[in-house]
């Protein structure tokens, strides 16, 4: 692929992957929680920064205090947030490496 094509294709694929991962994890979390409250999708995305493996801390700070979820649903939502973060951390650089290596430099 030419550098001009790559300048469009690579960001499109990476942003598409980002939204796919977030969307799939939101759908899986939505199916497994007892109740899906308003603004949960927003907080799912907004609360992803910083705490990857401290699931109980995120559950307490974001889901229980802010939106009033019970402990079981809060832990479940936090786990899906962590799954999404790990998938993004591993997947985005892999996509960039694979797509970047397909650019024809002349």
Q: Among candidates 29, 42, 40, 41, which has minimal Cα distance to 80?
A: 29
77 vs 2, which has greater pLDDT? Answer: 77
pLDDT score, position 46: 84
4-37 pLDDT tens trace? 888 888 889 899 999 999 999 999 999 999 999 8
- Among residues 48, 75, 47, the alpha carbon closest in space to that of 59 is found at 75
Angle between helices 71-100 and 3-32 (to 10 degrees): 160
Q: 30-59: string of b/e by CB count within 10 Å (b at 16+)?
A: eeebeeeeeebeebbeebbeebeeebeebb
pLDDT of residue 76: 92
């Amino acid at each position: 692929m030419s550098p001009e094509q790559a300048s469009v294709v690579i960001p499109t694929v990476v942003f598409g992957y980002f939204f796919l991962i977030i969307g799939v994890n939101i759908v899986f979390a939505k199916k497994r929680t007892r109740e899906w409250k308003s603004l949960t999708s927003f907080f799912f995305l907004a609360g992803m920064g910083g705490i990857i493996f401290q699931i109980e801390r995120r559950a307490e700070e974001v889901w229980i205090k802010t939106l009033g979820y019970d402990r079981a649903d809060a832990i479940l939502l936090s786990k899906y947030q962590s799954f999404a973060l790990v998938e993004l951390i591993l997947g985005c650089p892999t996509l960039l490496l694979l797509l970047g290596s397909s650019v024809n430099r002349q």
